[in-house]
Amino acid sequence: MRIVPAVDIRGGLCVNLIQGDYDQETVFSENPVAQAQTWWDALGEGIIHIVDLDGAKAGHCCVETELRALKAAGIPYEVGGGIRDMATIETILDAGAARIILGTAAYRDPELLKNSCAKYPEKIAVGIDARAGKLSLSGWLEDTDRDAIAFAQEVEAAGAARIIYTDILSDGMMQGPNLESTQELAQAITIPVTISGGMSSLDDVKAVRPLEADGVDEIIIGRALYLEKFSIAESVALAAS
């Protein structure tokens, strides 16, 4: 089980939202690249999770400068938010991304998903953000009636390397992740799953560990690290034990 620290970027700042609400924002750092470096220095291996919040709303990448700075610093990262065409995928891969996360585009443009998975195998993940089991799009601003599990099965068939599953109602609430829905989704597919949303304590990290048998092998942690509820070292040690 791997720990994946999150750096959410909006307006050039490192922020955190509650349930994806842009009106409920906390700024944790004025320098997202420096924040990513801090997490990476503590982590030492693995990957940093970058969210382009402006891109998720605008529909195009808004953080290329930060991504290229991460590449120059030698920090491995994955990135999602506003990636809607092959040109953007190629630009971000050139900027050093180890993994591209398609969200809204995977739903609206299945051909892009299929073609990008074929062209860049093992590089394309799909972010599935769900509210009460239904897919949400465009930075969680648009709800659909699409079943999240059925969609996960579709993107696996298209060639996605991984699902990054976020339960929106848990995100930023510091009340624990939605283990039940994550397990249900993971059991319905064969590709690995990253759990995201609601991690608040070391007990939550411990609670996720049994899901590794179902294919959940990464935990994204954001707000809890910023609020110093526990350290990266503590979470890494527990996840690996």
Is residue 13 within a helix (H) or strand (E), and if so which, with residue range?
A: strand 13-18
Q: Which amino acid is at 49?
A: H
Buried b / exposed e along 95-117 (16+ C-beta atoms within 10 A) = bbbebbbbbbbbbebeebbbbbb
Cβ atoms of residues 137 and 160 within 8 Å: no
Q: What is the pLDDT of residue 140?
A: 66
Dihedral pair phi/psi, residue 146, rounded to 5°? -80, 125
Structure tokens at 25: 């924002």
Helices vs strands, H then E, count in the chain = 11, 12
Cα separation, 51 vs 197, in Å, equals: 13
Q: What is the pLDDT of residue 170?
A: 67
Cα separation, 167 vs 160, in Å, equals: 20
Task: Report the CATH number that the domain containing residue 76 is assigned in CATH.
Answer: 3.20.20.70
Cβ atoms of residues 28 and 226 within 8 Å: yes
CA-to-CA dists, residue 164 to 17, 156, 159, 186, angstroms: 18, 12, 14, 10
Q: Which residue in the block uniquely carries the two structure tokens 């509210």?
A: 131
Walk along the chain (241 residues) and give the pLDDT tens digit of each residue: 999 999 999 999 999 887 667 777 889 999 999 999 999 999 999 999 999 999 988 889 999 999 999 999 999 999 999 899 999 999 999 999 999 999 989 999 999 999 999 999 999 999 999 988 899 886 667 788 999 999 999 999 999 999 999 988 765 556 788 899 999 999 999 999 999 988 999 999 999 999 999 999 999 999 999 999 999 999 999 998 8
Number of domains composing the chain: 1
Question: What is this structure's pTM?
Answer: 0.93
DSSP category for residue 137: E
Domain that holds residue 136: 2-240
Q: What is the pLDDT of residue 83?
A: 95
Cα separation, 100 vs 32, in Å, equals: 18
Q: What is the pLDDT of residue 208?
A: 96
Active site residues: 8, 129
Is residue 164 within a helix (H) or strand (E), and if so which, with residue range?
A: strand 162-167
Q: What is the pLDDT of residue 77?
A: 98
Q: What is the pLDDT of residue 172?
A: 56
